[in-house]
Structure 1
Amino acid sequence: MDTPDRATMLADFTVVRRMGDAGNGTFFLARPPARLGLPDDRVVVKVFSGVCSDDAYRRGVRELRAFAAVQSPYLAKLYDALLQEQFMYAMEYFPNGSLAEPASGRLDRDAGLAALADAARGVHDLHEAGIAHGNVTPSSVMLTDGGGRICDLGLSRVLAADEPLTSFVQPASVEYIDPSLLAGGLPTRATDIWSLGACLHYVLAGTGVFGPIPTSQPVLAIRAALSNPPSLSARLTPAEVDLVASCLNLNGRVPATAADVASRIDALR
C-alpha cells in the first residue's frame, strides 16, 4: 500500500475526497487516525477558511469541548480539533447528507420534518446545557435514517470574535439568522428558535424568508435581511404558517423552548 503524500493528508487524517464548501470552510471525507480508536472508518473534517491564531484556536476548542460534553442522541459526534494554520475539526460522517444537500438529491416533506424535529431536540439539549448553537441552517441539519442530528456549532463567530461581522457571516446563511444577531446581538434560545423557524420554512416551501439574497456580497446580504421583514410562502397551510410565524416572533407567541418547536413539527407530519 502506498503511503499518502502530504497533499492527501489533513494532519494525520487521510483524505478520501473533498465533499464541498460551506462558505466559511471546506468539508472533506477522511479516514481517521488509529490514535482516536474510532469504530467508524470514515469521518468528516471541516477546515475553516483563513489563518487561525492560537487564541482563536483555544476559543474554538473550548466551544467544541462544551458541545461534545452534552449527552444527546440528536447531536453529531465530535472527535478531534487541530490547528495547522487553519482551524479544523473532525466529526461523524452522515452518508445521507443534510437538509441543504440530501445525498438522494431530493428530500420528501415528511423526512425533512423528521430531521428538523430531531435537530430541534438537539438544540434544546444544548440550551439545557447553557449553550446556544448560533448557526442553525439547513446545512447544519444532518440526515439519519428516519431522522436527523444537529452539527456545525457557530464556530465562525467564535474564531473571528475580534473581527467585523462580515468576516464570518456567510451570505447563504443570512436568511436563517435572527436579525437581532445580524444587528450585533448574541446567540440565545430565542435566536436559535428563530433559525429553526426559518429552516422549517425552507423544508415546507423550499425558500428562505427574506426573498432573493445577494449571495456574493456579505454586506448587501446582511442589509437585505435587516431591511426586509420576513415573508411567508402562500404555499404553507394555516398550521404551518402559525408555527413558522411563532418561531420568527411574528405573532407574539414564541415557543418557550426548542423542544416545544420539535413537538409542534412532529404534529405537522
Structure 2
Amino acid sequence: MRENYVLNGRYRILHSLGEGGMANVYLAHDLILDRDVAVKLLRLDLRDDPKTNKRFQREALAATELVNPNIVSVYDVGEENGMNYLVMEYVSGMDLKNYIKVNFPIPYQEVINILEQVLSAVQVAHDHDIIHRDLKPQNILVDKNGQVKITDFGIAIALSEHSLTQTNTVLGSVHYLSPEQAHGGMATKKSDIYSLGIILYEMLTGKVPFDGETAVSIAIKHYQEDVPSVRDVDPRIPQALENVVLKATAKQPENRYESSQEMGEDLLTSLSDKRANEPKFIPHSNDLGETKVMPMADIKNGINQASPDEDSESKNKKPKTRKKKHQKLRYALLVIGFLFVLMFGLITWANQTQMIEVPDVTEMSEQTATRKIEAASLTVGSVSHKPSNSVKKDRIIKTNPRYGFKVKKNHKVNLMISSGVKKTTFRNYRGMQYKAVARNLRAKGFTVIRQNNSSDSLSAGQIMEQDIASGKKVVAKNTTVTFTVSTGQKQITLENLTGKTKKQINDYASENSINVYYSYEYSDTVDKNKAISQDPIAGTTIKQGSNVKISLSRGKQTDDSDSTDQFNVKLTIPFKGTDSSSSVTSDNSSSAESIGENIIYVYLKDSTHTYKTVYRQLTITKSTSITLPFTLKSGKSGGYKVVRDGQTIMSDNGVTKDNH
C-alpha cells in the first residue's frame, strides 16, 4: 500500500513496518484521534482464500476479547475495496528476538520481569479458553519503557471450536513447537507453556535449544531429545531458575505447570535464597509412546535362549510359521485400523451435522434475543453491560461466541448489552494549547467555543479557563464547552515620561508591568534626576514586560565634572537552554515557554547605582548583548553582576574606564 493513502477516510499510511506470510503491517496515523496506530492488511493474493480469511478473522475475534496491558489492543476491524484490515495499538520499540540480540546477556531479574508480563497475558488468554499456538520472541514486543505486549493471535483458537484441520497439522514456529504438536497431536494450554519454556531458555542462553537444517529435523528433536541444560551454557544460573525451564519444557504435558499463573509464581521466587539448594527437576517419564528399537545384543540373547534339543527340521519350520503369523496379524491390524478410521469419520460427520450456528441477535432487546437463541436450541449464558455510542440502551451489542459461529446443541451464548451512550470524564485542560484540545474534542463529538482574554502568565493560545468542571461525566455529542484562551500579555500605550522623576517613573513601571533601565547625562535645561528622553517614545504600543530606556539628567555640568569618568561596558549574557524533549507543544507549535526562556536580573554599582536595587530586568530566549553605562569618579572602581535562576552567572567588582 502506498504512503499517504488514507484507509477508510481515517488512517493515513506512513510507511511499512514489515511483511509476513499472511499480512503486511504498516505504521499509520489515526486522523480522528490524532495517534499513531499499526494497520495489519491481509495480502491481496490471499484475500480469496477462505482459510486465510478465517484465520485473519480469528485474530480479530481473539484479540478484541482480550483486554490486558500486556496484550496489543485491537482498535478497529474493517474492509475497504476487498482489503481486510485490523487497526491495532502501535508499540514503539522492538520485538523480543531483537531485544535478546541487542541486550544479551540479560540480567536474570530482568529476564524474570519480562517473562512474568508474558505469562500474565497468556493467563488472560487461557482464562478465555484461547490458546495462542504461536508464542515466540518475534510475537512479543518490548516498548521503550520495558513494558511487554503479546501480538499476533492469527493462529490462536478457542477450545470450543472444532476443526479436523487442527489434528496432524503443525501450526506455529518450529523452534518453539511442543512435542505433542510435533507428533501431530492437538495443541493445548500446556503447549503454550512449553513454548514459554523455550523462550525462557533463549533469554537465558541467547539461543534456541534445538536447531537443524529442516523444520522436520527440528520438530523431531522437540519430540525425542531433552532440552539441554541452561547451566551448561551459564553455570551461574541458579538451579531453581533452570528448574522453571525444565518443568515448562517437560516432554509429557502432565509434567508441566498446570497454568501460566503457576509458572509465573514459580519464576518470581527462582532467585530467592530459600531455593538456593533446590535439587534439579526430573520429570516422571519421557515416554510419549514412540517406537522403541531393541538393541542387537538383546536380539542375540533371545536367539541363544532357544532349546538345544530342537532338531534341525523344527528350526527350519519355525521361521515359516512365524512369518504366517505375522502376516495374519498385519491383516488383522489393517482391518482394525480401517474400521477405526471409518468409525472416527462417522462420529465426526455426525458431530458436524449436529453443530448449530449462533443466530444474529444484535440490536435486539434481551427478551427477544433470549427467545431467538433458545429457539435455535442454544442457551443464554452470562449477561454483561457496556456503554455504546452506536447501539441503543438495553439492546444487544454482541454475543460470545459471535453470530455465525457453529457450536454444539445447548451451548451457552453470552450477551453484551448496551448501557447507553458512553460518558466521558472531562479533563482539566487549563494551560494546554487550545488548537490541539479543540481538534481532539470535536473529533469525539463535542461542540467547542472560544473566547479570548489577555494573560500575564500564559502564552498566546493557551487555555485560561473552561466552563465545564474537571472530572465531570458528560456525553460528548450533547455537550458544548467554552474555553477562555490567552491572547498573551496585555498591550499598553506608553505615556510621556520625560520630565518625571526616577521615583515617578518606577511607580509607573510597577503599575503597568514594564521594565525600565537608566542612563545618565548632563543637561542645562532638565533638572537633576528627571527624565530627559525615553525609548520607545511616548504613544508607542508595547506589551507588558517590555523594556523602556530612560535617560536621566545629572544636572548642569560644573567645573569639577572633569573628575568624573563616563563609559559603557558591553556584556553578552549566555542563554541556558531547556531539554529539547519538552519543546513540542500539544499542537506541534512552538512558544516562548516551550522553547525555554531565561529571566535575567542585572545589578549595577557606580556613582549613582548600588546593588540594593535592580538596574535592569529582561527576558531572553537566546544569548543576548546589553550595554551598561558607568559614571565613576576618577580613580574609583564600579561593578556589576548578572543573576539567573537565583545564581550569579557574571560579575566584576573592579570595573574602571581603563580596563574596559
TM-score bin, normalised by smaller chain = 0.7 to 0.9
Q: Where do residues 34-49 of structure 1 align in structure 2 (5 Å cutoff)?
A: 34=31, 37-38=32-33, 40-45=35-40, 47=42
- Three-state SS of the structure 1 residue aligned to 2:86 is strand
CA distance in 1, matches of 2:69, 2:24: 25
Return the offset for 1:190.
0.6
Q: 1:222 aligns with which of 207, 215, 219?
A: 219
Aligned twin of 1:198? 198
Output aligned runs, 1:100-249, within 5 Å. Answer: 100-102=97-99, 105-106=102-103, 108-109=106-107, 110-144=109-143, 145-155=145-155, 165=169, 169=172, 173-210=173-210, 212-214=211-213, 217-233=214-230, 234=232, 235=234, 236-249=237-250
Amino acid at match of 1:244: V
CA drift of 1:153 comes to 1.4
Of residues 47, 54, 57, the one that matches 1:61 is: 57
Higher relative contact order (CA 8 A, sep 6+): 1
Deviation, structure 1 residue 195: 0.9
The range that moved more, 231-240 or 54-63, is 54-63
Q: Whose strand fraction is larger, Structure 1's or Structure 2's? A: 2
Say which SS state the counterpart of residue 76 (structure 2) adopts. strand
Stretch moving more, 66-75 or 80-89: 80-89
Q: TM-score, normalised by structure 2?
A: 0.34
Aligned residues of 2:63 and 2:73 also touching (Cα < 8 A): no
Measured at CA, do residues 157 and 75 of structure 1 come closer, stay the same or move farther in structure 2, by a change above 3 Å?
closer
The structure-2 alpha-carbon separation of the partners of 1:50 and 1:200, relative to structure 1 and needing over 3 Å to count, comes to farther
Between 200-209 and 246-255, report the one with greater CA deviation.
Answer: 246-255
**What does residue 92 of structure 2 align with?**
95
Partner of 1:16: 14
Q: Contact 1:255–1:261 (CA<8 Å) still a contact in 2?
A: yes
Aligned pairs, number? 253
Q: Cα distance, 1:126 vs. partner?
A: 0.7
Identity %: 19
Structure 1 window deviating more from structure 2 (60-69 vs 77-86): it is 77-86
Give yes or no for contact 1:198–1:208 (8 Å, CA) kept in 2. yes
Native 8 Å contact 1:77 1:92 kept in 2? yes
| C-alpha contact 2:130 2:157 (8 A) present in aligned 1 | no
Task: Pick the structure with greater CA Rg.
Answer: 2
Secondary structure at the aligned position of 2:153 is classed as coil
Contact 2:132 2:155 in 1 (8 A): no
The yes-or-no answer on 1:29 pairing with 2:22 is no
Amino acid paired to 1:148: V
State the distance in 2 between where 1:208 and 1:249 align: 16
Equivalent residue, structure 2, for 1:3: none
- Measure, in 2, the Cα distance between the counterparts of 1:122 and 1:21: 25
Helix, strand or coil for the counterpart of 1:41?
A: strand
Structure 1 CA distance for aligned equivalents of residues 244 and 197 of structure 2: 7
**Of 254, 259, 262, which residue of structure 2 is paired with 1:260?**
262
The answer to whether the 8 A contact 2:70-2:147 is kept is no
Which structure: greater helix fraction?
Answer: 1
**Alignment-mate amino acid for residue 248 of structure 1:** T
Asked whether the 8 Å contact 1:51–1:87 carries over to 2, the reply is no
